[in-house]
Amino acid sequence: MKLKYFNRSVVLITCILSFVFIININCKTKAASSEKSMVSSPDLSIPALLEREGELAKAAEWEKTKQKVQELTQKILNRPNDIKSRLQLAVIYISEARITGEHPYYYPAILKILDGVLAMDVNNFEAMVYKASVKMSQHSFSEAKEIGEKARILNPDNAYIYGVLVDANVELGNYKEAIKLSDKMQSLKPSLESYARASYLREIYGDYPGAIEAMKMAVQAGLPGSEPWCWTKKTLAHLYEKTGNWSKAEEQLQEILSIRPSYALAIAAMARVEKEKKNYLKALELLQKAATILPEFSFHEEMAAIYDLQDQKEKAGNEYEIVINMLKEDERSGHSVALELCRVYIQKGEYDKAIEQGKTEYAKRPSNIDVNQELAWAYFKNKEINKAKEMIEVALNTGSKDSELLKRARLIKKAG
């Protein structure tokens, strides 16, 4: 069933990588420790598998994952030109990046594997698709789009490559092109991934009922309990949250946690439910629990916001510093984090730094509505009203009904 929509949709690339279906447990971003132990590899040219820690190490599939990596590594040692085994290893590492959040280690490792494959076979479609996806996850959107277009020429009937191109065009602000590509993806393969992208495009264009409808279809298309299903259901909860239907949001999250009680993203989302109820201590407890399972920068960002609400400035400042350090570690591994840093510096009241980071991101994607919104707000807080007004108009281009955007727009337009 093809979703016809007059709005637009996308999925944050770091959340659904549809080619990762080998192993599923938890997901999302985390700053990697520089001293993680590794599962030894007999060949230094093959990046090692990182040992998991804590709850993630208890997962039933972890031993199987290690065994599979050892098996693939041995195959590559026996046959260095074994492209299939190298690609399988890359897919496992992509999944491990999602599960553990060790992006600063895994993304460069995956790119090393994929570049090795492309050195042997310059037109290898799978390697190009995976590389484009990793570049998307690193926020190298223009490069991802370029690689994705080359892959599409090789295989124009592959649904997944259209997903990569939808995401790249959304992030670059090419929204009309993203809609066309999303339509094509749905016609090729109606799936969790295509419905989720349709949902996000509809949300961007202000069609929340349509976004919820499409995300429900994504949930129905998923395997209950799998990580993509959990992510999609969590995203459906967030849509209910955005439309003020907190009871339905909580219901979705409880259903996830009844199956996977250690799913960190759902735990953190439950913290927002408790925050809405003004149960700040409970919200902080949930965020700290989520961060213990999966140290993700946004968990600390949300903790800082709650401390700010309670006028606990020192604790808030400490959490913001954790966020900045995590983001900068990601940045050192090749991840573009300027937009995230812009937002954090605004929250810290360091508006000159926020503007500097916002301008860095704006130079790469001047049509993206999120980039324009954050930079507009940084200018507004820095009392550069004319610049703020110019940016906020671009941020409103798609007719988004995001409450935070609309509130900021009203304040900026009223300013002298």
pLDDT of residue 60: 81
pLDDT of residue 344: 97
> Domains of the chain: which residue ranges?
10-137, 337-416
pLDDT of residue 36: 58
- The percent of the chain in helix, strand and coil, each rounded to the nearest 5, is 70, 0, 30
In the numeric block, which tokens belong to residue 31?
């700053």
What span, in angstroms and rounded, lies between the C-alpha atoms of 25 and 6? 35
Query: Is-above-0.85 flag for pTM?
Result: yes
The CA distances from residue 372 to 206, 292, 347, 388, 402, in Å, are 17, 33, 17, 9, 14
Give the burial string for 310-319 (b: 16+ CB within 10 Å, else e).
Answer: eeeeeebeeb
The Cβ of residue 130 has, within 10 Å, a number of other Cβ atoms equal to: 28
Q: Are 94 and 100 in contact (CB under 8 A)?
A: no
pLDDT of residue 55: 80
Query: Which one-letter DSSP state was computed for residue 48?
Result: P
Least confident among 20-29, 101-110, 112-121:
20-29
Query: Which one-letter DSSP state was computed for residue 51?
Result: P
pLDDT of residue 7: 31
For the cut 80, the answer to whether the pLDDT of residue 21 exceeds it is: no
For the cut 80, the answer to whether the pLDDT of residue 22 exceeds it is: no
In the numeric block, which tokens belong to residue 29?
């971003």
What span, in angstroms and rounded, lies between the C-alpha atoms of 335 and 141? 11
For the cut 80, the answer to whether the pLDDT of residue 249 exceeds it is: yes
* More confident: 330 or 29: 330
Q: Are 199 and 186 in contact (CB under 8 A)?
A: no
For the stretch 152-178, pLDDT in tens is 999 999 999 999 999 999 999 999 999
For the cut 70, the answer to whether the pLDDT of residue 6 exceeds it is: no
Class for domain 337-416, per CATH?
Answer: mainly alpha
In the numeric block, which tokens belong to residue 147?
């690689």
The CA distances from residue 268 to 143, 235, 251, 283, 402, in Å, are 32, 12, 14, 8, 20
At 350, the pLDDT band (50, 70, 90 cuts) reads very high
Q: Identify residue 227 by its one-letter amino acid code.
A: E
Q: Is the C-alpha dihedral spanning 93, 94, 100, 102 positive or negative?
A: positive
Q: Are 34 and 232 in contact (CB under 8 A)?
A: no
CA angle 397–302–228, rounded 5-degree value: 75
For the cut 50, the answer to whether the pLDDT of residue 275 exceeds it is: yes
For the cut 80, the answer to whether the pLDDT of residue 379 exceeds it is: yes
For the cut 80, the answer to whether the pLDDT of residue 96 exceeds it is: yes
For the cut 90, the answer to whether the pLDDT of residue 187 exceeds it is: yes
pLDDT of residue 400: 97
At 118, the pLDDT band (50, 70, 90 cuts) reads very high
What span, in angstroms and rounded, lies between the C-alpha atoms of 318 and 284? 14
* More confident: 5 or 63: 63
For the stretch 197-212, pLDDT in tens is 999 999 999 999 999 9
Q: Give one DSSP letter per residue of 184-242, joined into a string.
A: HHHHH--SHHHHHHHHHHHHHTT-HHHHHHHHHHHHHHS-TTSHHHHHHHHHHHHHHHH
